[in-house]
Structure 1
Amino acid sequence: MAGNSNSGRPAQSAVVQLLKGNPGKKSFGDLMDEVKDPSVPVAAPPMPTCLSDEAVAEWERIVPDLLLLGLVSSLDGMALATYCEAVADWQRFRRLITEMNSKVDSNHAGDVQTFATGAKQISVWRQLANDAEKRANSAGAQFGFSPVARRNLKTMAQQGDLFPNEHREAAARYFS
């Protein structure tokens, strides 16, 4: 069998296609129409009440940027919550590992656990931190939170951002 409906690369929104420079050479007018009137409106999803404090902080940090780029809709709540909670878990486990590594007892360090027999094993805290990192990277990739995804985005800097604050008004007169 040659494949099924899940074969191939996942579809990308018109915003992402334009940010990447329209590699598929789709009609610019069609892409712009979809950007102006998206099938799923750009909006912040409601924040789940079950998020930890660290996850709430991450949510509040990234949602404004996602809205600005047009990369989030009200339907993306679960994917965004998964990312934020994975980041919060990673931060919590990294703090525990750092605290354990700073203690004198080297048999129960945060990164490597040494048993009475001399055998060494990656500690459960390191395993949990590694798992949280994988979950955050996987969920974040859906929103372009990886260096490779950002490298492919061709965003345009606003003209005013090219000049120091005192020259922005002059730049706005000449470039608008």
Structure 2
Amino acid sequence: MAGNGNSGRPAKPAVLHLLDGNKGKKAFGALMDDLTSPSVPVQAPPMPDCLTDDAVAEWERLVPDLILLGLISKLDMMALATYCEAVADWKRFRRRIADANASQEGAADKGDIQVFKTGATQISVWRQLANDAEKRANAAGAMFGFSPMARRNLKVAPPQGDLFPNEQRDAANKYFS
């Protein structure tokens, strides 16, 4: 077998084909369809009722912008819930670390470092949990383009100034500037 779907160079987004003058002579209608019609309808997924308060706040912060940018469908509930819970966990663990650091001024055992009776030290459990939550948030957030490298692979037309309504342009500027 010569390869699979991941073999070779990733496909160039339609907007780049058009900006480069369509050197590959792709059908103009197909390129425009690729730009204007999402493969799945843009719609907010139902919010799971098991999310923590911080996760609900993150969900409510992100969903309107993801809808405006056309990056979400009702199929994305699990991916978005995973991201929101990971962010909520990270915030909770970072608060625990900050509280431990503030309450133990001058003590050897701080929120970031755990000191044993023998004098041995290691990264505290709270720091390990925060690091794990950060990794989970980064992995789930990459699905929505929440990192510069992940945004490269998104099929989103770049913001084009006044061609976008103001709210769409403002949402795009938050993430793509």
Does residue 114 (structure 1) correspond to residue 111 (structure 2)? The answer is no
Q: TM-score, normalised by structure 2?
A: 0.74
**Partners of 2:59 and 2:130 in 1: CA distance:** 20
Written as runs of structure 1 = structure 2, the 5 A alignment for 1:1-176 is 3-4=3-4, 7-8=6-7, 17-18=13-14, 21-22=16-17, 27-104=27-104, 106-150=107-151, 154-158=158-162
**Partners of 1:80 and 1:33 in 2: CA distance:** 27
SS in 2 for 1:121: strand
Q: Is this contact kept in 2: 1:114–1:120, CA < 8 A?
A: yes
**Partners of 2:144 and 2:97 in 1: CA distance:** 28
1:27 deviates by 4.6
1:40 deviates by 1.2
Q: Is this contact kept in 2: 1:107–1:115, CA < 8 A?
A: no
Question: Can you give the 5+ residue segments of structure 2 that lack an aligned partner in the other structure?
Answer: 167-177
Aligned Cα root-mean-square deviation (Å):
3.1
SS in 1 for 2:134: helix
Q: TM-score, normalised by structure 1?
A: 0.74
CA deviation string 1:105-132 (max 9, x = no partner):
6243110011122111000000000000
Check 1:9–1:46 CA distance in 2 against 1; reply closer, same or farther (3 A cut): farther
Identity of aligned residues (%): 62
1:10 deviates by 11
CA deviation string 1:140-161 (max 9, x = no partner):
0000001334478732233786
**Partners of 2:28 and 2:96 in 1: CA distance:** 50
1:37 deviates by 3.6
Residues paired across the two proteins, number: 156
**Partners of 1:33 and 1:80 in 2: CA distance:** 27
**Partners of 1:10 and 1:97 in 2: CA distance:** 43
CA deviation string 1:19-51 (max 9, x = no partner):
6x3599665532432444433101000111110
Q: Is this contact kept in 1: 2:44–2:72, CA < 8 A?
A: yes
Find runs of 4+ consecutive structure 1 residues off by over 6 angstroms. Answer: 9-12
Aligned residue for 1:166?
none
Check 1:151–1:2 CA distance in 2 against 1; reply closer, same or farther (3 A cut): closer
